[in-house]
Structure 1
Amino acid sequence: MLEVHQFPCLSDNYGFLVHDPASGETAAIDTPDAEAYLREASHRGWQITQIWNTHWHPDHAGGNAAIKAATGCTIHAPAGDAAKIEAVDKLVHDGDVVCLGAFEADVIAVGGHTDGHIAYHLADARVAFVGDALFALGCGRMFEGTPPQFWHSLARLKALPPQTLIYCAHEYTASNARFALHADPDNAALAAYAAEVFQRREQGQPTVPTTLARELAANPFLRADDPALQALWTDRGARLGDPVATFAALRAAKDNF
């Protein structure tokens, strides 16, 4: 069985080490803090053999060179962002497959936060590492992409099996929940989810991973195609039957919330 070790690093990032016991291989999902990754791997007796980058931002790829120098690992990075990522060995594109032992991860282009952003979906393990494309109750800021591009990316993630565990890269959920409650105030599933989030954060507990099923019910950015949510936002740029316009309105509002 695939093992996923999650740990906090930097101010609000999560680090992920993915380990295949059969082969002994370990992949670092992004590299926000090289020292933390090397320490956590050492504590578990794992050797980092691969890095899988989701996008170029320094809090996701900044530790590449140091980890590679310490371990000799192979670095996979999205072709669309690769010019901004250090020490890349293998470029990956939408539809490619990367392997960790016998486990296969499908590469999914999810541009919007950055143009070249990708996610890694391990169907057999029912997990997806989505970087900053999707958050629990939120999504990443649209730094480089466009609303049609970003909505298309979220629609691709929406199509994954609902039981998929979503590993997003930051502990932003309480802030996202406050906006979600503002955006979709009559959503009972959201209200229950948000209450749990606030309780967990008060207790210092993580809210990641989440499940896609839970996000489909409560995350307003994944519900931009829902007529009820569209109707709530028509006075702020949303349009009935237009998920792109609704997503754009939600994203702009979150940016200024």
Structure 2
Amino acid sequence: MLEVHQFPCLSDNYGFLLHDSESGETVCIDTPDAGEYLKQAGHKGWQITQIWNTHWHPDHAGGNGAIKAATGCRITAPAGDAGKIEGVDRTVAQGDTVMIGERRAQVLDVGGHTLGHCAYYLGGAHIAFVGDSLFALGCGRMFEGTPEQFWASLKRLRALPGGTMLYCAHEYTESNLRFALHADPDNEALQAYGEDIRRMRAAGLPTVPTKLERECETNPFLRADDCDLEARWSELGGRIGDPVATFAALRAAKDEF
């Protein structure tokens, strides 16, 4: 059995510990707060054996050194970002795999937020850890990549089975909802999703993880090739028949929203 232990840390990050009960292995998915990760693992009675970094930003890899010093764990990081990440033992890229016990995770290239950003997809468990590449109703800022690269990354995630649960790294959903409704105001599935999000946040509940099939219906950044969305955004920088241009227009608008 695999168990994901999710907990808040820093101001709006989520921490994730992935535990395999058969092998006893525990993986930190990113390390925004070393002390909180070590405390949470201790409360669960788990020994941290690995870190899987999605990208180099300090709120994702800043705790590597302290956790490795405390546990002796092995650190895996994306090859494109590894030069900026402390303590890396192995680098990975698209098509590589990593293991927790006997369970295999596929490494996906989801660059765009950073050049080397990767995600970890465990098909047998129907889960993916996507870092800052994709959020509930949003995607990461395009700090280093290009629209072409980022759109290709989002299509790679969109191609996963619809039942995949996406573990994204921040609680940004209410803010993303406001922009999504601005970008795609006639989307009835989005309106229904928004009602659920408001109820969850009013009750203090996380909106993460989120199911991919719902994101495909409602997340404008996954729908940049939808004809209605392209038509709406063609007057705002997008182009009908050119989803890269529509994605770029959406991302630029979100940056200023």
Distance 1:203 1:256 in 2: 29
**Equivalent residue for 1:87?**
87
Distance 1:93 1:163 in 2: 24
Q: Show CA shifts across 1:14-35 (max 9, x none).
A: 0000000000000000000000
Q: Which amino acid in the other structure matches residue 107 of structure 2?
A: V
TM-fit CA distance, 1:113: 0.0
TM-fit CA distance, 1:199: 1.6
Give unpaired runs (5+ residues) of structure 2. none
Secondary structure of the residue aligned to 1:16 is: strand
Match status 1:78 vs 2:78: yes
Pairing of 1:79-118 with structure 2 (within 5 A) = 79-118=79-118
TM-fit CA distance, 1:195: 1.3
**Equivalent residue for 1:141?**
141
Q: Show CA shifts across 1:140-177 (max 9, x none).
A: 00000000000000000000000000000000000000
Distance 1:82 1:251 in 2: 26
**Equivalent residue for 2:25?**
25
Match status 1:158 vs 2:151: no
Match status 1:223 vs 2:223: yes
Distance 2:101 2:92 in 1: 18
Aligned residues: 257
**Equivalent residue for 2:37?**
37
Match status 1:3 vs 2:3: yes
Secondary structure of the residue aligned to 1:60 is: helix
TM-score w.r.t. structure 2 length?
A: 0.99
Match status 1:167 vs 2:167: yes
Q: Show CA shifts across 1:187-219 (max 9, x none).
A: 000001011111211211100000000000000
TM-fit CA distance, 1:118: 0.2
Q: Show CA shifts across 1:43-95 (max 9, x none).
A: 00000000000000000000000000000000000010000000111111111
Q: Which amino acid in the other structure matches residue 239 of structure 1?
A: R
Distance 2:66 2:117 in 1: 22
**Equivalent residue for 2:127?**
127
**Equivalent residue for 1:47?**
47
Secondary structure of the residue aligned to 1:91 is: strand
Match status 1:214 vs 2:220: no
Distance 1:93 1:182 in 2: 35
- Runs in 1 of length 4+ with deviation above 3 angstroms? none
Secondary structure of the residue aligned to 2:153 is: helix
Secondary structure of the residue aligned to 1:233 is: helix
**Equivalent residue for 1:59?**
59
